Amino acid sequence: MSRFSGITDNPHEGRFHQKTGILLTNLGSPDAATTKAVRVYLREFLSDRRIVEIPRLIWMIILHGIILRIRPKRSAKLYKSIWTEHGSPLTHITQQQSAKLGTLLKQQGYENTEVVMAMRYGNPSIEAGLEALREKGFTRIVVLPLYPQYSSPTTGSTFDAVAKVLGKWRWVPELHFINGYHKNSAYIDALANSISEDLQANGTPQKIVFSYHGMPKLFLDNGDPYHCLCLQTTRLVVEKLGLDKESVISTFQSRFGKAEWLKPYTDEALKSFPEQGIKDIAIISPAFSADCLETLEEIEGENREIFEQAGGEKYRYISALNDRDDHIEALVDVLKPNLG
């Protein structure tokens, strides 16, 4: 029997007219914290034309001749340092977010919705997620990449992956693609709440650092809005909390290679603070909707060490929003205009 045999001409009948599938996506992780698994993951990740925008032939020689021979072993050690009994923190947290989002949608009256999680790189893949929705008869799909601030290497790449899969389907579903939510008031409230809770528990630091994932400055020069969206996010949270603008700074982390990236760099800012008399800081990474290698290892570990070795005394990381209730409520708010 065809998967489309339940269609009727009555819009109030048949599963195809009543249900909305939601594909919740994030970046992804290796299947295991091993050199072999990390190599597979990095090959897919670093082969994406949105990630590395240099001539293809040159990059493939560098990638396969140098990077994939050296970096997987080094990265595997970093993944091992954050790996849990559930495996990848990012994958596990995204699974929790997906489950809680599905439950909350039904509690709020969206009975005919179902949430499926997928990863841009690694597993479960975007293709697997979309196929799962198709097999269940969804012809209306909402894709929500968990990147609050749009950028070409993250959100744009997710769109590419979705389009590639749908390009093979005979019947393309009604598609709603959410390309960001950095100004959503519920998202800003959730960020503000997480900071406020930390300040109440630990006191007010001398500086609050908003550390966003970096990207080559060339991307900004070529029109990527990510840098501006990050600064807008910081401004909205600062206004929400009524913070002194001088007590806050936006920085950019996770750079690699020799090209100039978005500035100021997080590690260099942290290193310079103690000599300015700033020895008590709190740091938050609003571009990450779930804790991952870049927050748990880089921010919690590597950057803490940089700050303390430079003379810093108090350093605390304010966790990503993860599966906080107010974060899940914010995701529902982002989805609502697209649920029909």
Instruction: Kindly report, residue by residue over 14-51, the tens digit of the pLDDT.
Output: 444 468 999 999 999 999 999 999 999 999 999 999 99
Is 294 flagged in the annotation as binding?
yes
| Coil vs helix vs strand at 282 | strand
CB 316 within 8 A of CB 198: yes
Q: Which helix (H) or strand (E) holds 133?
A: helix 126-135
Three-state secondary-structure class, residue 54: coil
Q: Are 241 and 192 in contact (CB under 8 A)?
A: yes
Give CA–CA dist 215/77, Å, rounded. 24
Q: Is 197 helix (H, G, I), strand (E, B) or coil?
A: helix
Strand bridging mode 248-253 / 113-119: unpaired
Count the neighbouring beta carbons within 10 Å of the beta carbon of residue 135: 9
Does pLDDT of 6 surpass 50?
no
Q: Are strands 248-253 and 140-145 parallel, antiparallel or unpaired?
A: unpaired
Question: Once rounded to an integer, what is the mean pLDDT over residues 207-229?
Answer: 98
170-214 residue pLDDT tens: 999 999 999 999 999 999 999 999 999 999 999 999 999 999 999
Residue whose tokens read 């630091």 = 205
pLDDT digits (tens, 9 = 90+) for 87-112: 999 999 999 999 999 999 999 999 99
**Averaged pLDDT score across all residues of the chain:** 94
Locate 303 and state its tokens.
């950057």
Task: Retrieve residue 73's tokens.
Answer: 């072993």
Could you list the beta-strand ranges (E) of 169-263.
174-177, 207-213, 248-253
**What's the confidence (pLDDT) of residue 3?**
54
Rounded CA separation 177/26 (Å):
14
Single out the residue of 173, 48, 169 nearest to residue 119, CA to CA.
48
Domain spans of the chain?
35-82, 185-318
Average pLDDT, integer, range 45-72? 96
Residue 147 near residue 155, CB atoms below 8 Å: yes
Q: How big is the chain, counted in residues? A: 340
Regarding the domain delimited by 185-318, which CATH topology (the fold level of the hierarchy) does it fall under? Rossmann fold (3.40.50)
Identify each DSSP E strand in 27-139 by its residue range.
Answer: 113-119
Q: What is the dihedral of CA 114, 117, 118, 124, to 10 degrees?
A: -110
User: What's the pLDDT band for 256 if we cut at 50, 70, 90?
Assistant: confident
pTM over 0.95: no
CA nearest neighbour of 47 among 166, 137, 153: 153
